[in-house]
């Protein structure tokens, strides 16, 4: 895992399942108005990141052969930079565009206060 983003066992299980169905995956967390705590899961490269996005982590999930990139809008990261983020799964309907939508589950981002000496990822990556 990353020191900025973690994955619960339930989320890892769903990621493995979605990886088997859709191939390599990515997450994007926007600061959108509707559900700011729901990271969206896409096939890798399907969501086009822009200059206002940063890659927080390349997550290593057991059973997934490649890293799962986690992107966030810079504006959202500015608000959450004092936290450690954890991708979790809860029952419910995901967003229509996120891959877990038909599974009866949805990804949820939980945050906890963290102490860090830097505010950005070790190697922030612009698209």
Q: Per CATH, is 5-113 categorized as 2.60.300?
A: yes
Residues 46-92: pLDDT tens digits?
A: 999 999 999 999 999 999 999 999 999 998 899 888 999 999 999 98
Contact of 41 with 106, CB cutoff 8 Å: no
Supply the pTM of this predicted model.
Answer: 0.85
The sheet carrying 105-113 orders its strands as 5-7, 83-91, 105-113
Residues 6-51: pLDDT tens digits?
A: 999 999 999 999 999 999 999 999 766 555 678 999 999 999 999 9
Give the integer Cα–Cα distance in Å for 10 and 109. 13
């Amino acid at each position: 895992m990353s020191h900025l983003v973690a994955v619960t066992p339930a989320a890892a299980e769903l990621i493995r399942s979605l990886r088997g169905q859709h191939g390599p995956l990515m997450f994007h967390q926007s600061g959108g108005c509707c559900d700011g705590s729901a990271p969206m899961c896409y096939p890798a490269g399907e969501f086009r990141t822009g200059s206002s996005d940063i890659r927080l982590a390349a997550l290593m999930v057991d059973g997934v052969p490649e890293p799962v990139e986690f992107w966030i809008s810079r504006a959202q990261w500015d608000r959450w930079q004092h936290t450690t983020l954890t991708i979790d799964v809860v029952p419910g309907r995901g967003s229509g565009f996120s891959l877990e939508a038909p599974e009866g589950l949805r990804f949820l981002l939980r945050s906890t206060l963290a102490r860090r000496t830097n505010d950005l990822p070790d190697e922030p990556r612009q698209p």
